[in-house]
């Protein structure tokens, strides 16, 4: 058993939380840790040189970048640092992967996407239709809004090359069982790509343990800068062509997929996320190595977030004029605290704009999961009202939101 989060410590690590606003649009972008900004600043002011030179400062800069790769690999449970491709965003990295995979696509090859993903994990794969790929859609079930594994198995065939799925929906909050999905996909000889943008802020990532082939998320949703990471099994990355200069061949992983190289200072800045989670894990009782402390931190995070989500969901369940979009319970095994709802007959933007007056930041819209919003018939309501909580939020802040909603609804 881990100890509860020390919210005084947690909130002290995020300077923006000292203001009057309660931030509940975290699935759009979390607040940033002081130690992330400090590392970015320090890199820029002390080691902002090109890598690969013989002089000492360049060697130091290279060592800092190598250490960043190693720390992020440990954060996500990768076996080796060169399984990480860094880039500006999840969208950019998935387009990069799709471009690299285009070389091996043959007419009739099948790629399966869902109708519940962010467009970043749908649009890039649709571009491969130009190479003759067939795109199939794994749809959420109308009654549960879940992705059923038997529906995926019915879609797969001998020509299925890749299955693309979200780990947690940025609308529904639903957690999909990626380890189970990976086993089913691999049994059919295909590969699995997981978009974890809406999952990684809330739970520990274990790419090797889950046996996923590719896994991608953005650090600006995980308390860091506008930067992102794509994990790929080493043998898969080696098989891809180089998208870099002609003299960067296939063996140079991951540089061959990082055109112009990475943003050094942002990569180094992301080590602040690892440092914070390690310290948080120690504070909740873990005395193990860094990876064990990260796991303990996320256990405590999940428990706290479940309490936050239940406070809001309990209120929403108690109203007969609100429709919750997604699981109605706060069970941490089923969902993250990204909670969407609509009020029939009321445009979602009207509700959100009135919540703004209480100095509470929430959001309305389709959140680039436009296909899901259209499937659910919610486009005319201007999408959903979305409240996306993270571990630095408090029950008092949720109560502030409930009080504001009481006045508005």
Backbone phi, psi, residue 137, to 5°? -115, 125
Distance between CA atoms of residues 41 and 251, nearest Å: 33
Q: Provide mean pLDDT across the span 253-263.
A: 94
Give the pLDDT score at 260: 87
Fold matches, 7-32+299-408 and 37-274: no
> pLDDT tens for residues 320-359?
999 999 999 999 999 999 999 999 999 999 999 999 999 9
The CB density around residue 52, as the number of other CB atoms within 10 Å, is 10
Residue that the structure tokens 């840790």 belong to: 33
DSSP secondary structure string for all residues of 226-248: S-EEEEE-HHHHHHSPP-S-TTS
> pLDDT tens for residues 93-139?
999 999 999 999 999 999 999 999 999 999 999 999 999 999 999 99
Sign of the Cα pseudo-torsion (26, 80, 293, 271, in order): negative
Rg (CA), the chain: 21
- Nearest CA among 297, 261, 100, 113 for reference residue 195: 113
Distance between CA atoms of residues 125 and 142, nearest Å: 24
CATH 1.10.286.10 fits 37-274, yes or no: no
Give the pLDDT score at 70: 98
The per-residue pLDDT of the chain, averaged, comes to: 97
E strand or H helix that includes residue 217: strand 214-218
- Nearest CA among 239, 172, 164 for reference residue 199: 172
DSSP count for the chain of H helices, then E strands: 15, 13
Distance between CA atoms of residues 293 and 290, nearest Å: 5
Are residues 335 and 173 in contact, defined by beta-carbon separation less than 8 angstroms?
A: yes
Q: Which residues neighbour 211 within 8 Å (Cβ) at sequence distance 6 or greater?
A: 179, 182, 183, 186
Statement: residue 287 has pLDDT above 90: yes
Statement: residue 275 has pLDDT above 90: yes
Distance between CA atoms of residues 123 and 117, nearest Å: 10
Are residues 234 and 253 in contact, defined by beta-carbon separation less than 8 angstroms?
A: yes
Does the pTM exceed 0.95? yes
Helix 34-46 vs helix 271-283: crossing angle, to nearest 10: 140
Q: Provide mean pLDDT across the span 370-377.
A: 97
Domain ranges of the chain: 7-32+299-408, 37-274
Distance between CA atoms of residues 233 and 191, nearest Å: 10
Burial of 394 (0-12, 13-18, 19+ CB in 10 A): middle
Are residues 272 and 36 in contact, defined by beta-carbon separation less than 8 angstroms?
A: yes
Give the pLDDT score at 2: 75
Return the SS3 of 174.
strand
> pLDDT tens for residues 34-52?
999 999 999 999 999 999 9
> pLDDT tens for residues 161-219?
999 999 999 999 999 999 999 999 999 999 999 999 999 999 999 999 999 999 999 99
Distance between CA atoms of residues 312 and 164, nearest Å: 31
- Nearest CA among 115, 94, 129, 126 for reference residue 165: 115
The C-alpha torsion from 82 through 87 and 92 to 98, rounded to 10°, is -10
Tokens of 179: 């380890």
Band of residue 256 on the pLDDT scale cut at 50, 70, 90: very high
Band of residue 1 on the pLDDT scale cut at 50, 70, 90: low
Are residues 211 and 182 in contact, defined by beta-carbon separation less than 8 angstroms?
A: yes
Pick the CATH number of 7-32+299-408 from 1.10.10.10, 3.20.20.100, 3.90.1150.10, 3.90.950.20: 3.90.1150.10
């Amino acid at each position: 058993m881990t100890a509860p989060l020390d919210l005084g410590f947690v909130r002290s690590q995020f300077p923006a939380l000292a203001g009057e606003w309660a931030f509940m649009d975290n699935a759009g972008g979390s607040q940033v840790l002081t130690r992330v900004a400090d590392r970015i600043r320090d890199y820029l002011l002390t080691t902002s040189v090109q890598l690969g030179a013989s002089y000492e400062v360049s060697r130091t800069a290279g060592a800092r970048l190598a250490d960043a790769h190693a720390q992020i690999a440990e954060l996500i449970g990768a076996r080796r640092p060169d399984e990480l491709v860094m880039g500006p965003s999840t969208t950019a990295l998935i387009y990069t992967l799709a471009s690299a995979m285009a070389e091996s696509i043959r007419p009739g090859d099948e790629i399966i996407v869902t109708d519940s993903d962010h467009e970043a994990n749908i649009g890039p794969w649709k571009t491969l239709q130009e190479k003759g790929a067939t795109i199939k859609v794994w749809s959420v079930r109308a009654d549960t809004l879940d992705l059923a594994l038997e529906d995926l198995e019915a879609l797969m065939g001998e020509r299925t090359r890749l299955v693309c799925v979200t780990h947690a929906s940025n609308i529904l909050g639903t957690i999909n069982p990626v380890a189970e999905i990976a086993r089913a996909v691999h049994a059919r000889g295909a590969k699995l790509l997981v978009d974890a943008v809406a999952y990684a802020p809330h739970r520990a990532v274990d790419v090797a343990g889950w046996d996923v082939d590719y896994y991608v998320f953005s650090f600006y949703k995980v308390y860091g800068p506008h930067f992102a990471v794509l994990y790929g099994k080493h043998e898969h990355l080696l098989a891809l062509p180089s998208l870099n200069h002609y003299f960067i061949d296939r063996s140079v992983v991951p540089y061959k997929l990082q055109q112009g190289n990475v943003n050094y200072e942002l990569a180094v800045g992301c080590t602040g996320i690892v440092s914070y989670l390690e310290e948080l894990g120690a504070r909740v009782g873990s005395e193990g190595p860094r990876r064990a402390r990260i796991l303990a931190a996320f256990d405590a995070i999940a428990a706290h977030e479940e309490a936050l989500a239940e406070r809001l969901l309990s209120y929403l369940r108690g109203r007969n004029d609100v429709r919750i979009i997604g699981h109605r319970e706060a069970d941490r095994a089923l969902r993250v605290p990204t909670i969407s709802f609509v009020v029939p007959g009321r445009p979602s933007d009207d509700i959100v704009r009135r919540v703004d007056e209480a100095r509470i930041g929430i959001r309305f819209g389709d959140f680039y999961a436009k296909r899901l919003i259209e499937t659910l018939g919610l486009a005319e309501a201007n999408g959903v009202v979305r409240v996306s909580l993270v571990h630095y939020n408090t029950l008092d802040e949720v109560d502030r939101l409930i009080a504001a909603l009481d006045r508005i609804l």
